[in-house]
Structure 1
């Protein structure tokens, strides 16, 4: 079950006109935090992202399932079931075994996994490889939309931060 503040942050993102992936990002961030706190482990950063997206869909974030051919049919079906659960429709019915038993089993399996999948290095590697799979125009459009939905104060803060970073890098380059 996602924390109340995570759901609230996702709703705030929706009100601010941010994309569904940004809203889902709140759940993904929470998942990485859970792994870092030692609540359970993950095999890879990708798995932590997948768990976060699943929780987001179940919480009602309107994320589309992955496109055909991008992932396995099982993953697509799971995404559709999660979305249905988030909408509260009938097609979200679980398997015949009890939900509690299934949940407990999943948690126990994840507890045996390592926390390395949520390390800053693993997260960075995953983010870079995911970005590299997207074409440049798509990345550019996302950046433009991000700047648009940031608001004047946000843009100003980002510009100041960028200037500071440039100054620091220039200083390091001289030495």
Structure 2
């Protein structure tokens, strides 16, 4: 009488490969599909997805003046954010919450790429924004 021994279901799949081999196989498949789509690895410029840009364009974010974060003083940025948040019908929270959220979103997405001078301007804009909405601590 022969006894056939089957592998435990959690260790093998229909392909009969153990988990580590399946993982390596998945990585290879991912690399092939990225190459076929014209996307390079991390940090590549060709075919990269800009989800943060899509958030700014399509979400319930504020309709901001173009280039306001790059070309303005702290006071101009705060006043522009206030105007945009009061005028917007797409926001979900209060005007102050929406304006501060967009400012923080921009700072966080820029990360280490944000020059120190611009970062200090944007941090001052936060203070000005609090003052503009009467929320000084």
- Quick check: TM above 0.5? no
TM-score by length of 1: 0.25
Q: Which one has a bigger Cα radius of gyration?
A: 2
Instruction: From the two aligned structures, give the one with the greater helix fraction.
Output: 1
TM-score by length of 2: 0.31
